[in-house]
Structure 1
């Protein structure tokens, strides 16, 4: 039955998206700090980009990065700068009143940031290509549709579930705790950005050797 391929894709999708990384950190921070409507906009946009990346990896876009080395290093350079900038913004943000916390970011700003934490990460593209490409090669044409549908469903369920859980416990956070979360999240994101920058400077294939979680 084809449903088993859907379930397989669902399980592997959860395994792929669950590890703490830039996407999860950004969604958690948004769920704590933003108004409800902006939170779910952020979640929806993150899901959209995550699914688009999954589909692209399933079709083998990572091979393009590996084939054209200049494209790989362009992504590394601008990705490093963009990710570090996002981390710094989180660290220096200081909420004045937790009950009135609202990042007041424009929708286009949210779109750009979600795109950055998802697509400006060559390791995620390469890992995703190897991860999904391997399964695609072993599946029939029809089975592959069920598999990737399950994979995409996992992204939808994971980020929505993460947002809902964090929002439910949001009132347990006070202003001081939120500030600490911003600092921790920002520091981790800067760490990812610095690793991207190191891979760019080293220029020795470190993008494949150093693991940068999605």
Structure 2
């Protein structure tokens, strides 16, 4: 095992992790919204990063084989996740159609820290695709690297750390755009579409 081998496996893991995580999805949409609002950003980002690290480690340890052997677990997660996404999508749609009471900066009432953390955990752990991506796919790819599998995992975990940090804390640069209430209505409408689409797709087994 050379330094070049370690670097190669880590870089491969980083690329694979970013390729899977950088996509429009319920979790990323929520992190983006919290980042723009500047609301509990550090805690939400930390939850998402730690969740990915735990799931990637589980995949390397072989937990993916257990999930494959018991598909009923994935079905239960899929149905629960679909229900949550649909409910969240409906709430986002209501915010877009009827903004209600806005604060001085054009935003609606804030989420409490507890509500934000519960939402972040739910959007992560009730998404069956996260198990397919992190536990099964990244776990399988990591174990193809033999003794270097944990270096691959470190690279994949680093991808999550970089992405969620950039998404959550970088979103503040969009705040001038969202100084107007109308911009928040557009964002909530887009989030509603994403959540409802993913929820319906998940409910139908897609």
- TM-score interval, normalised by the smaller of the two chains: 0.7 to 0.9
> Gapped runs of 5+ residues in structure 2?
none
How many Å separate the matches in 2 of 1:134 and 1:83? Answer: 28
Number of residue-to-residue matches in the alignment: 197
Q: Tell me which residue corresponds to 1:75.
A: 77
Moved more, 181-190 or 38-47: 38-47
Q: How far apart, in 2, do the equivalents of 1:34 and 1:88 lie?
A: 23
Residue in structure 2 matched with residue 195 of structure 1 by the alignment: 201
1:86 correspondence with 2:92: no
Corresponding residue number in structure 2 for 1:106: 112
SS of equivalent to 2:176: helix
Match of 1:28 in 2: 32
Q: What corresponds to 1:205 in structure 2?
A: none
Instruction: Decide whether the 8 Å contact of 2:17 with 2:138 is kept in 1.
Output: no
Answering whether residue 14 of structure 2 is matched by residue 5 of structure 1, we say no
In 2: Cα distance, 1:61 partner to 1:87 partner: 31
Q: 1:98 to 1:158 in 2, by over 3 A?
A: farther
Moved more, 7-16 or 67-76: 67-76
Unpaired runs of 5+ in structure 1? 200-209
When residues 127 and 11 of structure 1 are mapped into structure 2, their CA distance, relative to the original with a 3 A threshold, is closer
Q: Is residue 2:173 matched to residue 1:161?
A: no
Q: Tell me which residue corresponds to 2:41.
A: 39
* In structure 2, distance between residues paired with 1:157 and 1:74: 31
Report what 1:206 is aligned to: none
Q: CA RMSD in A?
A: 2.1
**For 1:176-191, what aligned pairs fall within 5 Å after superposition?**
176-191=182-197
Q: Measured at CA, do residues 63 and 140 of structure 1 come closer, stay the same or move farther in structure 2, by a change above 3 Å?
A: closer
Which residue of 1 is the match for residue 151 of structure 2?
146
Instruction: Output the CA distance in 2 between the equivalents of 1:127 and 1:152.
Output: 13
Please give the TM-score of this superposition, normalised by the length of structure 1.
0.82
